[in-house]
Amino acid sequence: MNTATPASQLANSIAAPSADNDRSFRNTYLIAPSVAVLLVWISVPTIMTFWFSFQHYNLVNTAGREFVGLDNYIYFFSSSSLAIAAFNSVLIVVGVVVLTIGIGIGLVLLLDIEFPGSSFARVLAISPFFIMPTVAALIWKNLLLDPVNGLFTTILRAVGLPGVDWFGVFPLMSIITIIAWQWVGFSVLILLTALQSLDRELKEAAAMDGAGSFAIFRFIILPHLARPIGIVVMIETIFLLSVFAEIFVTTSGGPGLASTNLSFLIYVQALLRFDVGLASAGGVISIILANVVAYFLAKAVSRSLEI
Amino acid sequence: MSSRPLFSVGINFIVGWGAVLLLVFPIIWMLLTSFKTEIDAISPEASLIFQPTLDNYRAVLGRSNYWMFALNSVGISAAATFLALLIGFPAAYSMAFHPTERTKGTLLWLLSTKMMPPVGVLVPIYILFKDMSLIDTHLGLILLFLVANLPIVVWMLYSFFKDIPRDILEAARIDGAGLWEEFRFILLPLSGPAISSTALLSIILCWNEAFWSINLSTTKAATLAAFIATYSAPQGLFWAKLSAAAVLAVAPVLIMGWVGQRHLVRGLTFGAVK
């Protein structure tokens, strides 16, 4: 944070020491509530999760509660469920990020051009992002993807093809589709805002110099969008590692573990089987995974954040 | 630009609108289905041509508990947002106008709390809430939504405050304005747009939150997001009623999103895109 102007540095150096102390005291108590609230939120439950993860502890039968060392972790790492769930978590993130960035760029290129009603179309295009996850998932599950009466089945039948049990045959892909639909709204919102701040004269000058559409895209638009794309990837990754509701209302993680991600696996252990110890071990693993991912993402894009 | 041939405008119009309508089609379809009878909702013949009815809306609104879920959503979102602004505003003010060498670290630390997956602390929160009788209470969800949105609120306000020239506040201080006068007469009037956009984003995020509301509320404090989730059970067979309930649940936030679109970007990107 070295944005202090020479003038204010001078002012600070002239100001009496007592005023300086006064100011730093004031800063502390203005920031303290936010930091305190979040510090409690971040530390207390995390320490508890960590503590529980070394215990055999079931809420249904608390009598057998005991310290079991790494047993919960050993159980997780020796059963295939953790690997499958972690893999599915990553697949959801990668699938949705790739789809939303790809489709998002395509859409904003179309929407950046002026045409009759284009400003209205731009507003409409972000709508999916504001649809709550439970609504989005249930509308897709029933109205569109239902194997008997869904619209996709109706369309398939109209061209002589049989209906498909999307969630049975392609469970994870169906979920990725639903989530990607929601988050395309997000990437359009961010990328379009960024693209509209691009100087139009720059594009026109390039066109006059004989640059083709692709060259303009490759050398003017894409570099301009690099930073916002990084931001979109970071924010989507943070939220998508914790996808839950879309799985909860559609497949319940099935068939088998085919659409279970880490969030859902831990939910099953915690609130359906009441196995505190195992769920906590899963929780610790998910916290570690999220932080590893966040660390690398933050390193990659933190320079984009204006502080 | 005016010399552009009509033909290419036509192509842009068709392709642009075609893509957008395809994207929002599920929403349009949901809206159409909400006006169908249950029979029409599942019959291919009635896909587009049908006798519209308001029965589904009557049925959903007639459920005595619908209004309770709606009020829960409104109350919990509003309370969590108010608290986040109350706590976050002073912090954002302090870091934007009186930065110290620790400001950058503090801001990044606030952001890093968003990296913690909710499911990582599901177990302790569930146990703590059970011990403190906070499960299925408004207060419980308000607290969780507060901590989830506080970092975003601080960042968004901070980003707005950075655009206010510091000289204005300096001048007031030189004229002898105390912290409270500076707040009340300079900063508050200047930060109207910042506060309203931040509140808007926070309300939208609270309204749509599903993880905690599904897992920690059942009847008394359940929000609309949790209420809609109950349609995944056998009730989900009633597509027209599901659609009507869904339209009612998303409409307020969808409209807020359309109106506030441009202002939300700043908060959603932690100030990196404006």
Condensed to tens digits (0 to 9), the pLDDT of residues A84-96 reads 998 999 999 999 9
- Which tens digits make up the pLDDT trace of B196-238? 889 999 999 999 999 999 999 888 889 999 988 888 776 557 8
Which residue among B101, B123, B270 places its CB closest to the CB of A280?
A: B123
B122, B218, B227: best to mutate for the A interface, most A CBs within 10 A = B122
Domain segments of chain B: what residues? Answer: 6-57, 63-268
pLDDT at residue B64, as a whole number:
66
Query: Measured between CB atoms, does B188 come within 8 Å of chain A?
Result: no
Of the pLDDT bands very low, low, confident and very high (cuts 50, 70, 90), residue A98 is very high
pLDDT at residue B213, as a whole number:
92
| Residue A14 confidence (pLDDT) above 60 | no
Of the pLDDT bands very low, low, confident and very high (cuts 50, 70, 90), residue A29 is confident
Q: Which residues of B touch A111 (CB under 8 A)?
A: 16, 19-20
| Amino acid identity for residue A36 in this structure | A
pLDDT at residue A3, as a whole number:
45
Q: Do A201 and B78 touch, CB atoms closer than 8 A?
A: no
Q: Do A46 and B120 touch, CB atoms closer than 8 A?
A: yes
Q: Which residues of A touch B7 (CB under 8 A)?
A: none
Q: Average pLDDT for residues A24-49, to the nearest whole number?
A: 88
Q: Count CB pairs under 8 A between chains A and B.
A: 320
- Residue B75 CA to residue A101 CA, distance in Å, equals 35
Which residue among B24, B107, B272 places its CB closest to the CB of A227?
A: B272
SS3 annotation, chain A: CCCCCHHHHHHHHHCCHHHHHHHHHHHHHHHHHHHHHHHHHHHHHHHHHHHHCCEECECCCHHHCEECCCHHHHHHHHCHHHHHHHHHHHHHHHHHHHHHHHHHHHHHHHHCCCCCCHHHHHHHHCHHHHCCHHHHHHHHHHHHCCCCCCHHHHHHHHCCCCCCCHHHHCHHHHHHHHHHHHHHHHHHHHHHHHHHCCCHHHHHHHHHCCCCHHHHHHHHHHHHHHHHHHHHHHHHHHHHCCCCHHHHHCCCCCCCCCCCCHHHHHHHHHHHCCEHHHHHHHHHHHHHHHHHHHHHHHHHHHHHCCC
Query: Measured between CB atoms, does B94 come within 8 Å of chain A?
Result: yes
For the segment(s) B63-268, the CATH number from 3.30.465.10, 3.40.50.1980, 1.10.3720.10, 1.10.15.40 is 1.10.3720.10
| Residue B34 confidence (pLDDT) above 60 | yes
| Residue A298 confidence (pLDDT) above 80 | no
Q: Do A176 and A240 touch, CB atoms closer than 8 A?
A: no
Which pair of structure tokens corresponds to residue B109? Answer: 């630390």
Q: Do B265 and A232 touch, CB atoms closer than 8 A?
A: no
Q: Average pLDDT for residues A16-43, to the nearest whole number?
A: 77
| Residue A217 confidence (pLDDT) above 80 | yes
Q: Contact A193/B150, CB-based, under 8 Å?
A: no
Q: Average pLDDT for residues A191-208, to the nearest whole number?
A: 83
Which pair of structure tokens corresponds to residue A197? Answer: 């701040």
Q: Contact B224/A130, CB-based, under 8 Å?
A: no
pLDDT at residue A297, as a whole number:
80
Domain segments of chain A: what residues? Answer: 1-52, 70-304
| Superfamily designation of domain A70-304 | MetI-like (1.10.3720.10)
**Could you tell me which chain B residue has the CA closest to the CA of A294?**
B115
pLDDT at residue A6, as a whole number:
47
Tell me how far apart the terminal alpha carbons of chain B are, to the nearest angstrom.
26
Instruction: Quote ipTM for the complex.
Output: 0.87
Of the pLDDT bands very low, low, confident and very high (cuts 50, 70, 90), residue A12 is very low
Q: Contact A34/B27, CB-based, under 8 Å?
A: no
Query: Measured between CB atoms, does B231 come within 8 Å of chain A?
Result: yes
Q: Which residues of B touch A127 (CB under 8 A)?
A: 23-24, 27, 254, 257-258
Q: Contact A110/B113, CB-based, under 8 Å?
A: no
Q: Average pLDDT for residues B254-273, to the nearest whole number?
A: 82
**Could you tell me which chain B residue has the CA closest to the CA of A12?**
B98
Most confident region among A154-158, A222-226, A245-249 by mean pLDDT: A245-249
Of the pLDDT bands very low, low, confident and very high (cuts 50, 70, 90), residue A302 is low
- Which tens digits make up the pLDDT trace of B177-189? 777 887 788 888 8
SS3 annotation, chain B: CCCCCHHHHHHHHHHHHHHHHHHCHHHHHHHHHHCCCHHHHCCHHHCCCCCCCCHHHHHHHHCCCHHHHHHHHHHHHHHHHHHHHHHHHHHHHHHHHCCCCCHHHHHHHHHHHHHCCHHHHHHHHHHHHHHCCCCCCHHHHHHHHHHHHHHHHHHHHHHHHCCCCHHHHHHHHHCCCCHHHHHHHHHHHHCHHHHHHHHHHHHHHHHHCCHHHHHHCCCCCCCHHHHHHHHHCHHHHCHHHHHHHHHHHHHHHHHHHHHHHHHHHHHHCCCCCC
Q: Which residues of B touch A126 (CB under 8 A)?
A: 257-258, 261
pLDDT at residue A5, as a whole number:
47
Q: Average pLDDT for residues A136-149, to the nearest whole number?
A: 88
pLDDT at residue A4, as a whole number:
45
Quote the minimal CA–CA distance from B82 to chain A in Å: 13
Give the mean pLDDT of chain B: 86
Q: Contact A249/B229, CB-based, under 8 Å?
A: yes
Q: Which residues share a beta bridge with A56?
A: A66
- Which tens digits make up the pLDDT trace of B152-161? 999 999 988 8
Q: Contact B273/A231, CB-based, under 8 Å?
A: yes
Of the pLDDT bands very low, low, confident and very high (cuts 50, 70, 90), residue A211 is confident
B13, B20, B160, B274: best to mutate for the A interface, most A CBs within 10 A = B20
Q: Do B230 and B238 touch, CB atoms closer than 8 A?
A: no
